Chains A and B, each alone.
Chain A
Amino acid sequence: MKLVTGNDLESGDVVWWTGDGWSRHVADAVDAGHAGESIAATEEAARRVNSPYVIDATATADGPRPAHIKDRIRAAGPTVRPDLGVRPADANRGEWVI
């Protein structure tokens, strides 16, 4: 599957395209199919998100899992500071990244 991701303009937070907006949780991300690049272009032009780009991901029971470790770290937060991540209470978060 293809996801669209970027950073929120004001907060800089990592955000994921949900089909009708942006979420901080990768679990909310939807498959953008072939529309990824045009969604990214439209959203960037509308100043709703910073530097969006399209990535590969796989659908899992826990939601989409980005193909590249960089995007998994973006989705979960720094591996060395689990307390600061998006899912601080999730004990399996580290395994999900690696």
Chain B
Amino acid sequence: MYKYDEYDQAIVDARVGEFRDQVNRRISGEMSEDQFKPLRLMNGLYLQLHAYMLRVAVPYGTMDARQMHMLATIARKYDKGYGHFTTRQNIQYNWIKLDQAPDILAELATVEMHAIQTSGNCIRNISSDQFAGAAADEVEDPRPWAELLRQWSTFHPEFSYLPRKFKIAVIGAEEDRAAVKLHDIGLQLYRNDAGEVGFRLFAGGGMGRTPMIAPVIREWLPKGDLLSYVESCLRVYNRYGRRDNMYKARIKILVHEIGAAEYARQVEEEWAHVKTLGLDPPASEFERIAGYFAPPAYDADLPDTVDRTDPDFTLWIDQNVSAHKQPGYAVVTISLKPAEGIPGDASADQIDLMADLADKYGHDELRVTHAQNIVLPHVRKRDLHTIWQALEGAGLATPNLDLISDIIACPGLDYCSLANARSIPLAQKIAGRFADLDRQRDVGELKLKISGCINACGHHHAGHIGILGVDRKGEENYQLSFGGSAAEDTSLAKIIGPGFNEDGVVDAVEKAVETYRGLRTEGERFLDTYRRVGLAPFKEAIYG
């Protein structure tokens, strides 16, 4: 885990003081909302339907137990006892009082956390693979690079007022667990034929109202050139991004309009200059950062087997535990999608418990996933049963990772001021329809994602089944789409036909699943069958 140096701490502390002053001026009446709004947004403070909402950054989704405990403390002390983990690997609090916001930021600063750049047209929190540093299929840990990008992008003066927000993801494995091709810039570490590790850089992807898959802008980027090259990508975008129209202002529109080859040409031209400015850190500085991400002190000679006599425990192991690169270890994903629960929500007590487990059994590390779950990346296999029992007691042992009830759902109209329709009750109804775990397991991997509006925070474009809430003459209505993926086989879901009301969409999802069960061949997921047979049989079953 990275530890702040005196510069990191000083700028975060200074920001707390500055925001406290701004809040005081707003409350005293000195500042209007129009004047204050951009300032509060720079500190992650939104005004939502019921109250202010604070979005706290979890850098590349990584935290230690002390930080996770602080998230619980904030939920308990300043909010209504819970928090919501988001698809950006962050956490949001829904019931914040304006005059308490600076105190919350001050508390966060004591554990090296903040809410800076979690909103606004700037470079947002860098996201990454939740299995980074642990995954068996990893070429190199992406987190030191994500941290380097975090330091470079924090308060970057040139990129504080971009045409639109900017999201960067970094991974170090072939399997894409961070949706890199659906980011403004996606970076993938890989090994070339000569055995060297470098980056493949994608740019111009995104979801929202105009979803696009990012093309490759540079097939091979030496690692040491990362900052200067990304800076060049941003410069070209900052210069030519469409500031005249916020719906066309994301980099994806620029790359699409001028073409990937022309964008790449302009970036290379810019880079020829930027490269000479000394922006890329010396190897020693990178080594300093990378040192914080050294693997934990693994125990050698641990048993690499698990006792599978308890069937419930075995079920959880098979569904929620993944391979670790170190023998004797495993990666645990804690599902925040219990039956009838709210996807991504966790109570203060649950957050504390997960922090305790990380502290005791997980080398003091936790990750937030973009699918709104929590990961303990380094646990001994021999501790799995104890961990499972503790999770079970807290309602956190639902064995449904990547199954149809592991739904991504944005806050929707229950909380979000931009929403057209509710997402959470729909997620609950679909999960309820498939409550039988044997049925879910028989259906297998099925990523269902729900957004309450076109902004697509619920990643519906990337769902094997995606659902978008729309407003039809004041009534909630839902559009169904099939065939999306956020993994290495990235694809965008396509709308299948006219929309449904809430019950209608639950029925339609069930019909689609049963159609798949009737058509699948050995080993095929819903997505594979859909890709093989196309929409027609599904449409026939649903609209008949």
A residues with CB within 8 A of B: 7, 9-14, 44, 46-47, 50-51, 67-70, 73-74, 77-81, 84
In the complex, A11 Cα to B51 Cα: how many Å?
7
A73-B49, A78-B415, A80-B424 known; A10+B97 contact, CB < 8 A: yes
- Give the bracket for the number of chain B residues in contact with chain A: 20 to 34
| Cβ 8 A contact of A12, one of B47, B419, B425, B474 | B47
| Cβ 8 A contact of B50, one of A9, A13, A44, A69 | A13
- When the two chains form their complex, are residues A50 and B33 in contact, meaning their CB atoms are under 8 A apart? yes
- When the two chains form their complex, are residues B47 and A7 in contact, meaning their CB atoms are under 8 A apart? yes
**Contacts between chains A and B (CB distance < 8 A), count:** 66
- When the two chains form their complex, are residues A70 and B419 in contact, meaning their CB atoms are under 8 A apart? yes
A11-B98, A70-B419 known; A44+B33 contact, CB < 8 A: yes
Whether B10 is near chain A, meaning CB under 8 Å from some CB there, is: no
Whether B18 is near chain A, meaning CB under 8 Å from some CB there, is: no
In the complex, A84 Cα to B415 Cα: how many Å?
12
Whether B158 is near chain A, meaning CB under 8 Å from some CB there, is: no
Q: Which residues of chain A come closer than 8 Å to B95, judged between CB atoms?
A: 12, 84
In the complex, A80 Cα to B450 Cα: how many Å?
16
Within 8 A of A (CB), among B191-240: none
A11-B98, A12-B97, A51-B33 known; A69+B47 contact, CB < 8 A: no
- When the two chains form their complex, are residues B422 and A79 in contact, meaning their CB atoms are under 8 A apart? yes
- When the two chains form their complex, are residues B428 and A51 in contact, meaning their CB atoms are under 8 A apart? no
Whether B52 is near chain A, meaning CB under 8 Å from some CB there, is: yes
Q: Which residues of chain B come closer than 8 Å to A67, judged between CB atoms?
A: 474
In the complex, A10 Cα to B47 Cα: how many Å?
11
In the complex, A68 Cα to B27 Cα: how many Å?
30
In the complex, A51 Cα to B425 Cα: how many Å?
28
In the complex, A80 Cα to B49 Cα: how many Å?
14
What are 28 sample pairs from A and B whose C-beta atoms fall under 8 A apart?
A: A7-B47, A7-B51, A9-B27, A9-B98, A10-B97, A10-B99, A11-B51, A11-B97, A11-B98, A12-B51, A12-B95, A12-B96, A12-B97, A14-B49, A44-B32, A44-B33, A50-B47, A69-B474, A73-B49, A73-B413, A73-B414, A73-B422, A78-B414, A78-B415, A78-B424, A80-B425, A81-B414, A84-B80
Scoring B50, B413, B424 by chain A CB atoms within 10 A of each residue's CB, the highest score goes to B50
A50-B33, A70-B413 known; A10+B51 contact, CB < 8 A: no
In the complex, A40 Cα to B414 Cα: how many Å?
24
**Chain A minimum-CB-distance residue to B48:** A12
A44-B33, A68-B474, A70-B413 known; A12+B50 contact, CB < 8 A: yes
In the complex, A70 Cα to B413 Cα: how many Å?
7
B residues with CB within 8 A of A: 26-27, 29, 32-33, 47, 49-52, 80, 95-99, 342, 413-415, 419, 422, 424-425, 428, 474-476
In the complex, A68 Cα to B471 Cα: how many Å?
10
- When the two chains form their complex, are residues A70 and B27 in contact, meaning their CB atoms are under 8 A apart? no
**Chain B minimum-CB-distance residue to A46:** B29
A30 to chain B, nearest CB (A): 22
Q: Which residues of chain A come closer than 8 Å to B98, judged between CB atoms?
A: 9-12
- When the two chains form their complex, are residues A69 and B413 in contact, meaning their CB atoms are under 8 A apart? yes
**Chain A minimum-CB-distance residue to B52:** A12
In the complex, A84 Cα to B428 Cα: how many Å?
18
Q: Which residues of chain B come closer than 8 Å to A47, judged between CB atoms?
A: 29, 32
In the complex, A79 Cα to B424 Cα: how many Å?
9
In the complex, A44 Cα to B36 Cα: how many Å?
13
- When the two chains form their complex, are residues B50 and A78 in contact, meaning their CB atoms are under 8 A apart? yes
- When the two chains form their complex, are residues B51 and A13 in contact, meaning their CB atoms are under 8 A apart? yes
Q: Which residues of chain A come closer than 8 Å to B428, judged between CB atoms?
A: 80
Q: Which residues of chain B come closer than 8 Å to A68, judged between CB atoms?
A: 474
A50-B33, A70-B419 known; A79+B425 contact, CB < 8 A: yes
- When the two chains form their complex, are residues A80 and B414 in contact, meaning their CB atoms are under 8 A apart? yes
A6 to chain B, nearest CB (A): 10
A3 to chain B, nearest CB (A): 16
- When the two chains form their complex, are residues B476 and A70 in contact, meaning their CB atoms are under 8 A apart? no
B172 to chain A, nearest CB (A): 37
**Chain B minimum-CB-distance residue to A44:** B33
In the complex, A69 Cα to B96 Cα: how many Å?
23
B112 to chain A, nearest CB (A): 27
- When the two chains form their complex, are residues B342 and A77 in contact, meaning their CB atoms are under 8 A apart? no
The 5 closest A-B pairs by CB, nearest first: A12-B51, A78-B414, A47-B29, A12-B52, A80-B424
Q: Which residues of chain A come closer than 8 Å to B424, judged between CB atoms?
A: 78, 80
Q: Which residues of chain A come closer than 8 Å to B422, judged between CB atoms?
A: 73, 79-80
- When the two chains form their complex, are residues A74 and B476 in contact, meaning their CB atoms are under 8 A apart? no
Q: Which residues of chain B come closer than 8 Å to A51, judged between CB atoms?
A: 33, 47
Q: A13-B51, A73-B49, A78-B414 are in contact. List 15 more A-B contacts (CB 8 A).
A: A9-B26, A10-B97, A11-B97, A12-B47, A14-B50, A50-B47, A51-B33, A67-B474, A69-B413, A69-B476, A73-B413, A79-B422, A80-B414, A80-B422, A84-B80
B76 to chain A, nearest CB (A): 14
**Chain A minimum-CB-distance residue to B98:** A10
**Chain A minimum-CB-distance residue to B475:** A69
Q: Which residues of chain B come closer than 8 Å to A69, judged between CB atoms?
A: 413, 474-476
In the complex, A11 Cα to B95 Cα: how many Å?
9
Scoring B26, B49, B475 by chain A CB atoms within 10 A of each residue's CB, the highest score goes to B49
B407 to chain A, nearest CB (A): 13
**Chain A minimum-CB-distance residue to B342:** A80
In the complex, A23 Cα to B32 Cα: how many Å?
22
In the complex, A55 Cα to B29 Cα: how many Å?
26
**Chain B minimum-CB-distance residue to A13:** B51
In the complex, A50 Cα to B47 Cα: how many Å?
9
Q: Which residues of chain A come closer than 8 Å to B475, judged between CB atoms?
A: 69
Q: Which residues of chain A come closer than 8 Å to B80, judged between CB atoms?
A: 84
A9-B98, A79-B414 known; A74+B50 contact, CB < 8 A: yes
